[in-house]
A and B are shown apart, each in its own frame.
Chain A
Amino acid sequence: MSLLLDTATVLLVLAGAFFFLAGTVGLLRFPDALSRLHALTKADTLGLGLIVLGLLPQMGSLPAALKLVLAWLLVQLASAGASQLIARLIHAGDANGPRS
């Protein structure tokens, strides 16, 4: 049982890391600021979700697992808000775009 859980953890965390990598590749390769922002937000949120899912079996207790899920939800909220604000700036033409 624990071997199964550990395998699930490793696979899910690797998948999450792959999505982070994909997001970073998008950050480096996409032509303009809005598409880079899109790639980063989407891929990073999914990647973090997979990593959290993968770490859940390793938590010792239910409260710790719930704290992890809460952390994920807060990161989603904050990154959604932040990317909306950056997108507004880009749309208004003020920002130079995220650094590549």
Chain B
Amino acid sequence: MMGVFDIALALLVLGVALMVVNAAETRAAVIAFIALGLLLALVWVRLGSVDVALTEAAIGGGATGILLLRACGRLRPSVSDTPQPGLGVRAAASALPTLLTIAIASVVLSPPTPAPSLAEAAAEALPDLGLGNPVTAVLLGYRALDTLLEKVVLLLALVGVWSLTSDGLWGGAPAELADGAAKPPLLLLARLLPPFGVVAGIYLVWAGADHPGGTFQGGAMLAGMWLLAMMAGLAAPPDTGNPRLRFALFVGPAAFLLVGFAGFLIADGFLAYPPGLAKPLIVAVEAALTLSIAVIIALMVAGPAMKAPR
């Protein structure tokens, strides 16, 4: 029976992807993309990766969707949806993608056997780290350097977004996310949902040690709640030069770096954890990282500064 569900899901994903590519209006394409994000989360669950499914639903579908929808709204007045290319152009354009699809399909159909796997190696040191979730162990233990560098990449991307403001506005606040008059339904949602969302976000981070979850998923949920409040007009986007904001951005990578360098003193090397202290250190780093990730995601959606600094 599961086979029928898998086939149906795979066909649905391909159908919605075709909708994204072939929709006449850009807004329809973006909404189809958000739906695709949710379907892909289901695919990830079927592939046995629940952590990735949570991340895909929150960041891949949710955060990217908000970003593109707001961009689409701002582009609408000026950019005319250019007329769709004719059938001949589309036929010619589908030559390369068809070749690529066939190439990838042939690779998928003849994979290496036995399947290469690092699962055993990952499971070995799990008790030393005190974690139950192997993905969190990989992210914050075995490949902690990758996660640290990724944090820095996120910060750099945010600085890149901020750098696109006019010269005189550096340090100011992004444009208001709420447009026009207050809307009561949105206000109700923005008052009711954030308490649930904040609790759920913090729970996702805490539970990520032993069950599916983690800093990215929890941070994305917290960012979503803040964005909801900003979109309803209940909170204004902060000045990008605000020292407390900058501290919140900085505390995640800083805590990670601190623990990393402390590894020279109390353990084997950079980002090594001492045997007894691994879990508390990881939880502390996760807490700082979640705050930073939440702020970074929300600010990346809010965009560069549009008002002069106060």
Physical contact A–B (CB less than 8 Å): yes
Seen from chain A, the residues whose Cβ lies within 8 Å of a Cβ on chain B are: 74, 77-78, 80-82, 84-85, 88, 96, 99
Q: Which residues of B contact A77 (CB under 8 A)?
A: 189, 192-193
Q: Can you report 15 A-B residue pairs in the complex whose CB atoms are below 8 A from each other?
A: A74-B193, A77-B189, A77-B192, A78-B189, A78-B193, A80-B185, A81-B185, A81-B188, A84-B185, A85-B185, A85-B186, A88-B183, A88-B185, A96-B25, A99-B31
B255 within 8 A of A: no
| B183: chain A residues within 8 A (beta carbon) | 85, 88
Quick check: is B28 within 8 A (CB to CB) of the other chain?
A: yes
> Which residues of B approach A to under 8 Å, CB–CB?
25, 28, 31, 183-186, 188-189, 192-193, 196
Closest partner residue, chain B, to A89 (CB atom): B183
- Looking across the interface, which residue of chain A has its beta carbon closest to that of B25? A96
Give complex CA distance A81, B185 in Å: 5
Write out the residue numbers on chain A whose beta carbons fall within 8 Å of the beta carbon of B184.
84
Give the CA-CA distance A74 to B192 in the complex, in Å: 10
Q: Report B-chain residues with C-beta under 8 Å of the C-beta of A80.
A: 185
Q: A residues within 8 A CB of B193?
A: 74, 77-78
Give the CA-CA distance A88 to B179 in the complex, in Å.
Answer: 14
CA–CA, A96 to B26, complex, Å?
13
Closest to B32 in A: A99
B residues within 8 A CB of A88?
A: 183, 185
Instruction: Give every chain A residue within 8 A of B25 (Cβ-Cβ).
Output: 96
Q: Is the CB of B28 within 8 A of A99?
A: yes
Nearest CB of chain B from residue A87's CB, rounded to whole Å: 9
Using CB atoms, name the residue of chain A closest to B192.
A77
A37 CB → nearest B CB, Å: 13
Q: How far is the CB of A81 from chain B (nearest CB, A)?
A: 4
| Residues from chain B with Cβ under 8 Å of A96 in the complex | 25
Query: In the docked arrangement, what's the CA distance between A92 and B64, Å?
Result: 28
Q: Which 10 A-B pairs give the minimum distances between C-beta atoms?
A: A84-B185, A81-B189, A81-B185, A99-B28, A85-B185, A85-B186, A85-B183, A81-B188, A77-B192, A88-B183
Taking A78-B193, A81-B188, A96-B25 as given, write out 4 further A-B residue pairs in contact, using a Cβ cutoff of 8 Å, ordered by the A residue number.
A77-B192, A81-B189, A84-B185, A88-B185
Report yes or no: B196 in contact with A74, Cβ–Cβ below 8 A. yes
A88 CA to B31 CA, complexed, in Å: 19
User: How distant is A74 from chain B, measured CB to nearest CB, in Å?
Assistant: 7
Complex CA gap A88/B183 in Å reads 9
* Residue on B nearest A78 in the bound complex, by CB: B189
Alpha-carbon separation in the docked complex, A85 to B189 (Å): 11
CB distance from B289 to the nearest CB of A (A): 26
Query: Residue of B at shortest CB range from A84?
Result: B185
A37 to B35, CA, bound (A): 17
CA distance A85 to B192 in the complex (A): 16
Least CB separation from A73: chain B residue: B196
* Chain B residue contacts of A85, Cβ below 8 A: 183, 185-186
In the assembled complex, how far is the CB of residue A97 from the closest CB belonging to chain B, in whole angstroms?
Answer: 11
* Complex Cα–Cα for A77 and B189 (A): 8
Could you tell me the distance between the alpha carbons of A77 and B193 in the complex, rounded to whole angstroms? 9
Most buried by A among B31, B185, B192, B196: B185
- What's the least CB distance linking A33 to chain B, in Å? 14
Residues of B within 8 A of A81 (CB): 185-186, 188-189
A99 to B192, CA, bound (A): 29
Residues of A within 8 A of B31 (CB): 99
Residues of chain B within 8 A (CB-CB) of A99 are: 28, 31
Q: How far is the CA of A81 from the CA of B232 in the complex (A)?
A: 12
How many Å from the CB of B24 to the closest CB on chain A? 10
Residue of B nearest to A88 (CB): B183
What is the CB-to-nearest-CB distance from A52 to chain B, in angstroms, rounded to a whole number? Answer: 17
How near does chain A come to B262, taking the closest CB pair, in angstroms? Answer: 38
